[in-house]
Amino acid sequence: MSSPSPGSTSVGTGVSDRMPLPALNKAGHVAHCVRCLDGLPASLVEMDASRMAIAFYCLSTLDVTSMAERQISPTDRKSWKEWIWDQYAEGGFHSGPFVSVSGSDTAHPSRGGAGVVASAATAPHLIMTYCALLALAVLRDDYALLNRAALKCMVGACQDADGGFETMPGAGDADLRMTYCAFVVCALLGDWSCIDLPRALSYIQRCRTYEGGYGQTPLGESLGGPTYCALAALHLVPADHACAPQARLQRAEWHATVRWLLHMQAEALAPVGGGGFAGRTNKLADACYGFWCGAALAILGAGDLLDAHALGAFLAQCQYKFGGISKAPGEHPDPYHTYLSIAAAAIISPDPAWGLQPLDPLINATPETARWAKEHVSAAPPEPKR
Amino acid sequence: MADDTTEHVLYAERPEWSDVVPIPQYENIQPLAPIFYTPEYKDATDYFRGIVKTGEKSLRVLQLTETIIRLNPAHYSAWQYRYETLIVISAPLEPELVLTNALTKASPKTYQVWHHRQLLLTALRDPMPELAFNEEVLKADAKNYHTWSHRQWVLAHFDQAELWAGELPFVERLLNEDVRNNSAWHHRFFVSFENGSKGGTGEGADEAVRRELAFVKGKIALAPNNASAWNYLRGALNHTHLPYSTQAAFVELYVVDAVDADADRVLDLENPPPSQGAQLPCLAAIEFMADVHEARGKEGISEAVKLWRSLAHTHDTIRKRYWEFRIRDAVANTSVA
Ligand SMILES: [Zn+2]
- In the predicted model, what is the mean pLDDT of residues A255-279? 95
Give pLDDT tens digits for A138-153.
999 999 999 999 999 9
What is the nearest CA distance from B287 to chain A, expressed in angstroms? 11
Residue A12 covered by a domain: no
Catalytic residues of B: 109
Question: Is the bond preceding B39 in cis, omega lying within 30 degrees of 0?
Answer: no
Ligand 1: centre distance to CA A289 (Å): 6
Q: What is the pTM of this model?
A: 0.94
pLDDT at A7 over 50: no
How much is the pLDDT for B102? 97
pLDDT band at A112 (very low <50, low <70, confident <90, very high): very low
Residue A281's nearest CA partner among B175, B183, B85 is B183
Ligand 1: centre distance to CA A120 (Å): 30
pLDDT band at A328 (very low <50, low <70, confident <90, very high): very high
How much is the pLDDT for A365? 98
- In the predicted model, what is the mean pLDDT of residues A171-185? 97
How much is the pLDDT for A17? 53
pLDDT at A104 over 50: no
Return left, alpha or beta for B153; rule: phi > 0 is left, psi -120 to 50 is alpha, else beta: alpha
Residue A224 covered by a domain: yes
Superfamily of domain B203-337, CATH level 4: Protein prenylyltransferase (1.25.40.120)
How much is the pLDDT for B276? 86
Beta strands in chain B (DSSP E): none
Residues of chain B with pLDDT under 50: 1-3, 199-200
Residue B5 to residue B22: CA distance in whole angstroms: 25
Residue B34 to residue B238: CA distance in whole angstroms: 51
Residue B22 to residue B16: CA distance in whole angstroms: 13
> How many C-beta neighbours within 10 Å does residue A105 have?
9
Residue A1 covered by a domain: no
Percentage of chain A exceeding pLDDT 90: 83
Q: Is B288 helix (H, G, I), strand (E, B) or coil?
A: helix
Q: Do A280 and B149 touch (CB under 8 A)?
A: no
Residues 6+ positions from A31 with CB-CB distance below 8 Å: A323
How much is the pLDDT for A385? 54
How much is the pLDDT for A111? 37
Q: Do B153 and A219 touch (CB under 8 A)?
A: yes
> How many C-beta neighbours within 10 Å does residue A213 have?
33
How much is the pLDDT for A10? 38
Q: Do A173 and B115 touch (CB under 8 A)?
A: yes
Residue A88 to residue A340: CA distance in whole angstroms: 25
Residue A112 covered by a domain: no
pLDDT at A230 over 70: yes
For chains A and B, CB pairs below 8 A equal 219
Q: Where are the domains of chain B?
A: 203-337
**In sequence order, what are the beta bridge partners of A40?**
B35
* Shortest CA distance from B330: residue in chain A: A255
Give pLDDT tens digits for A285-306.
999 999 999 999 999 999 999 9
ipTM of the complex: 0.95
CB-based contact A348:A293 (threshold 8 Å): no
Question: Which amino acid, residue B238?
Answer: N
How much is the pLDDT for B336? 57
Number of domains in chain A: 1
pLDDT at A15 over 80: no
Q: Do A282 and B234 touch (CB under 8 A)?
A: no
CB-based contact A245:A234 (threshold 8 Å): no
Ligand 1: centre distance to CA A341 (Å): 9
Residue A197 vs residues A2, A180, A191, A244, B228: alpha-carbon distances, Å: 19, 12, 11, 10, 33
How much is the pLDDT for A117? 47
Give pLDDT tens digits for B43-81.
999 999 999 999 999 999 999 999 999 999 999 999 999
Residue B48 DSSP class: H
Residue B234's nearest CA partner among A248, A224, A222 is A222
Ligand 1: centre distance to CA A325 (Å): 10
Domain membership of residue A128 as a residue range: 26-96+118-377
Contact residues on chain B for A307, CB-CB shorter than 8 A: 318-321
How much is the pLDDT for A1? 33
pLDDT band at A90 (very low <50, low <70, confident <90, very high): confident
Residue A191 DSSP class: -
How much is the pLDDT for B203? 66
pLDDT band at A106 (very low <50, low <70, confident <90, very high): very low
pLDDT band at A244 (very low <50, low <70, confident <90, very high): very high
Residue A160 is part of a domain; what is its CATH number? 1.50.10.20
pLDDT at A108 over 60: no
Residue A60 to residue A134: CA distance in whole angstroms: 8
What is the nearest CA distance from A263 to chain B, expressed in angstroms? 8
The answer to whether B316 faces chain A, any CB pair under 8 Å, is yes
Give pLDDT tens digits for B140-198.
999 999 999 999 999 999 999 999 999 999 999 999 999 999 999 999 999 999 865 55
Residue A337's nearest CA partner among A132, A103, A36 is A36
pLDDT at A114 over 70: no
Determine the straight-line distance between the first and last CA of chain A, rounded to whole angstroms.
Answer: 37
pLDDT at A217 over 90: yes
Contacts of B87-95 with C-beta under 8 Å, sequence gap 24+, read: B88/B57, B89/B57, B89/B58, B89/B59, B91/B59, B91/B62, B93/B120, B93/B123, B93/B124, B94/B124
Q: Do B322 and A282 touch (CB under 8 A)?
A: no
pLDDT at A180 over 90: yes
Residue A16 covered by a domain: no
Percentage of chain A exceeding pLDDT 70: 89
